[in-house]
Amino acid sequence: MAAPLIKICGINDPAALDAVIRARADYAGFVFFAPSPRNLSPATAAALAARAQGHVRKVGLFVDADDAVIADAVAAARLDALQLHGGESPERAAHLKARFDLPVWKALPVTSPADVAQAGAYAGAADLVLFDAKTPKGTLPGGMGLSFDWSLVAHWQGPLAWGLAGGLTPENVAEAARLTGAPLVDTSSGVESAPGVKDAGRIAAFCAAARGA
Ligand SMILES: O=C(O)c1ccccc1N[C@@H]1O[C@H](COP(=O)(O)O)[C@@H](O)[C@H]1O
């Protein structure tokens, strides 16, 4: 089985970005969502994007953001993909894909087979679905270090590409990748020493474990 692509999300300072580049992750995620401890301004994103250019692809994470917020982030950070982590409909995903001419990733919270089946509705509208844990009401819709029952998405065969997120860590990512066959794995809090503070050693360990090294 091929090693999964790796996204490290919530990059908000140069040291974390350098750790992601050193670990040869495929994607660095920038969070544009004010309630998140990983939120960053378009100006900070622009500086990080310049440092990332040519080394790692940049994914902007948004939660039910309006077009103007996304436009500012796309322009500042020269994003390579948009990750929609709220309640965005297939129509909204298709609109953003067309407007920004960028691949769109749609996160879906999973607790049941019916949640997984929702992915089909995004075929053509999004490029990738990211299966993630459902978080408690009143908390962030992601980035909480919560995982879900991986058997629900094991070797998922659907009409679009997919990835696995939610509570992935250096300690469990190899098992998650083996059980699910996920083509992409995504982590944020699992490679932190505190909310919003990335740990270079854990980023390196996550990437090595995901690749089966
Ligand atoms: O990271 C955040 O702060 C965040 C905020 C709002 C929505 C999603 C967020 N992060 C994404 O959530 C998943 C799972 O994160 P974790 O590994 O369980 O911490 C991942 O895709 C993050 O990119």
CATH superfamily of 5-210: Aldolase class I (3.20.20.70)
Single pTM value for the model: 0.97
- Asked whether the ipTM of the predicted complex exceeds the cut of 0.85, the reply is yes
82: its two tokens: 């948009």
Cβ contacts of 213 within 8 Å, gap of 6 or more = none
Query: Which atom in ligand 1 lies closest to the alpha carbon of residue 146?
Result: 18
DSSP E strands, the chain:
5-8, 27-31, 57-62, 81-84, 104-110, 128-133, 161-164, 184-187, 192-194, 197-198
Distance 72 CA to ligand 1 centre (A): 21
Distance 95 CA to ligand 1 centre (A): 23
> pLDDT tens for residues 156-204?
999 999 999 999 999 999 999 999 999 999 999 999 999 999 999 999 9
> pLDDT tens for residues 12-63?
999 999 999 999 999 999 999 999 999 999 999 999 999 999 999 999 999 9
